[in-house]
Structure 1
Amino acid sequence: MNQKLLSDCTLCPRECHVNRIQGNVGYCKMTDEIMVARAALHMWEEPCISGEEGSGTVFFSGCSIGCVYCQNHNIASGNAGKKITVERLSDIFLELQAKKANNINLVTPSHYVPQIMEAIDMSRGKGLDLPIVYNCSGYEKVETIKLLKGYVDIYLPDFKYISKEPAAKYSYCGDYFTFASKAIKEMVQQVGEPAFDKSGRMKKGVIVRHLTLPGYLEDSMKIIKYLFDTFRHSIYISIMNQYTPIAVIERYPELNRTITESEYEKLVDYAIDLGLENGFIQEGETASESFIPEFNDEGV
């Protein structure tokens, strides 16, 4: 493992420069000790990720972005999870493979990139041959993404904002678009065109997720247009309507509602009118906390 990456940590755009090896924490609230809140088969990703068997999902504690509306706020804040070694993480990957997972899905992994790379090397040496999914907020540094070349097969980033105002207000990063746009370009360049097996499961490629926020339909349209104009059919775009207000959202009353059916339909129709074909939409009652798994250290 590259100790320098953790002793003077600049893995994410926050660039805290803390020595996590000595037990200090930066914006992500994590030291160099890996903390995982859940490792299990997950059925609620895009169909080509979950498939029928499920995605082998590892939920890491801590987060380098910290959105005020985060559905996984208890683990993002570092208040849930179990500390494990790199060796244990590599074993978890193999255990998920033994459960017939379609892939290894790393959720909120940015602050653990060096440890994850080491764990992947270990598990590949013991027979791991599943695609690796990097499931992140999109608020990433190109330099960190470049480290992952040869390790990650599928990138699953969010693209949350195009305007500075909501990015600064709800995620404390007015520079979100600057970093996310560059990071996604690197992801696409790294893994290339999407590829699928005979069963429709993704083997490599990029799926960019956008979660529509209440009151920001115009911003969402700008995001879809930017992604389509920039990447065309070299990525898939997942347009999500599952935004769910949580208790702490009382400080932001404008976010204290779900997306209306009309708002979501307008966004989907706009994407279709642009010519978007490689995409996913959500149907039914997705704005529910039933989509949030139990973070009870299962599989850890």
Structure 2
Amino acid sequence: MNWKKWYRECALCPRECGVNRLEGRRGFCGQTAGLKVARAALHMWEEPCISGTRGSGTVFFTGCHLGCVFCQNGQISRGGAGKEISIIRLAHIFMELQEKGAHNINLVTPTHFVPQIIEALRISKKMGLVLPVVYNTGGFEKVDTLELLDGWVDVYLTDFKFMDVHLSKRYAHEEGYSFYAAKALEEMYRQTGPSAFDENGMMTKGIIVRHMVLPGQSMDSRQIIDYLYENYGDEIYLSLMNQYTPSGSLEKYPELKKRVKRQVYERLIQYTIRKGVENAFIQEGDTAKESFIPDFDGEGV
């Protein structure tokens, strides 16, 4: 693959900014063609079939093409934390995570660097990489970009953040979010099919769709649950998350300055059960009070 051609008029994500990132121009994601990584380490805070007992080999990429106003990873999505590295170095990072005992290679917010990631995977597989590859995304994807990943990604760990176009426009500056998320999910399922697990219960193939419940938006959450189950049944896994924590500058969004009430989340769990969903992850206890955000200090880069 001639990876550079994808950056001359960048259209890797649905925003299709069209900027020449090879010349240092930046589109919505805020990144040039320089491959930038903020952290590469074992991570225990994913779903149990991803983190397991040894941890998921997460690689956090700098930048984001979605830009949610409540983003809890603002240090890397908009703050620019991270170090520019080569494709060869990324391949070596994959190998180092495998040597540390990672259950998988977990690519976090990778969309705007897909061509280079594929090249790094090509190199690392020649070096002996055998771990499943997890594509960890906000769900705002183009089918054309996902098609490049066919055969390279084993597990899609994707968000479905909003169904309502007004919500996505207000909170992510993109009223077409649900359209793209639905089309992306179709392509992900075409590639992986139903989920598969190894003898230790680790997912080796398939899809987990995350939905983080937002304060005051349980109706939108129900619509997302309906859509996922009616279209995919239990052939994909739902991860219903209650960990929303007010973060960032929310002066214009006072409705987001509170956490989701436990009763609201529990009612959504019951709704999910009544719907018939069996393959789902839920969060118990005071997860909204815990920190799922690591230090983006350049570890492992």
TM-score by length of 2: 0.98
**Residue 120 (structure 2) pairs with residue 119 (structure 1):** yes
Change (3 A) 1:7 1:289: farther
Letter in 1 for 2:121: I
In structure 1, the residue corresponding to 2:291 is in which secondary structure?
helix
In structure 1, the residue matched to 2:266 is: 265
Post-superposition offset of 1:4: 1.9
Letter in 2 for 1:146: E
In structure 2, the residue matched to 1:12 is: 13
1:52-102 CA-to-partner distances (Å, cap 9, x unmatched) read 000000000000000000000110014211111111100000000000000
% identical equivalent positions: 55
In structure 1, the residue matched to 2:164 is: 163
In structure 2, the residue corresponding to 1:251 is in which secondary structure?
coil
Whole-angstrom distance in 1 between the partners of 2:248 and 2:29: 21
Post-superposition offset of 1:284: 1.3
Would you say how many aligned residue pairs link Structure 1 and Structure 2?
300
Whole-angstrom distance in 1 between the partners of 2:58 and 2:39: 8
In structure 1, the residue matched to 2:4 is: 3
In structure 2, the residue corresponding to 1:248 is in which secondary structure?
coil
In structure 2, the residue matched to 1:94 is: 95
In structure 1, the residue matched to 2:289 is: 288
Structure 1 stretch displaced more, 205-214 or 250-259:
250-259
The equivalences for 1:184-203 within 5 A come to 184-203=185-204
In structure 1, the residue matched to 2:85 is: 84
> Any unmatched runs of 5+ in structure 2?
none
1:103-124 CA-to-partner distances (Å, cap 9, x unmatched) read 0000000000000000000000
Q: Do 2:71 and 2:248's aligned partners in 1 also have CA atoms closer than 8 Å?
A: no
**Residue 255 (structure 2) pairs with residue 254 (structure 1):** yes
Moved over 4 A (4+): none
Q: Do 1:69 and 1:245's aligned partners in 2 also have CA atoms closer than 8 Å?
A: yes
Post-superposition offset of 1:42: 0.2
Whole-angstrom distance in 1 between the partners of 2:294 and 2:4: 33
In structure 1, the residue corresponding to 2:251 is in which secondary structure?
helix
1:130-158 CA-to-partner distances (Å, cap 9, x unmatched) read 00000000000011001100000000010
Letter in 1 for 2:34: E
In structure 2, the residue corresponding to 1:287 is in which secondary structure?
helix
Whole-angstrom distance in 2 between the partners of 1:149 and 1:181: 18
TM-score by length of 1: 0.99
Post-superposition offset of 1:289: 5.6
Post-superposition offset of 1:246: 1.2
> Any unmatched runs of 5+ in structure 1?
none
Whole-angstrom distance in 1 between the partners of 2:248 and 2:142: 31
Post-superposition offset of 1:250: 2.9
Whole-angstrom distance in 1 between the partners of 2:28 and 2:230: 33
Post-superposition offset of 1:251: 2.5
> How big is the alpha-carbon RMSD for the aligned residues of Structure 1 and Structure 2?
0.8
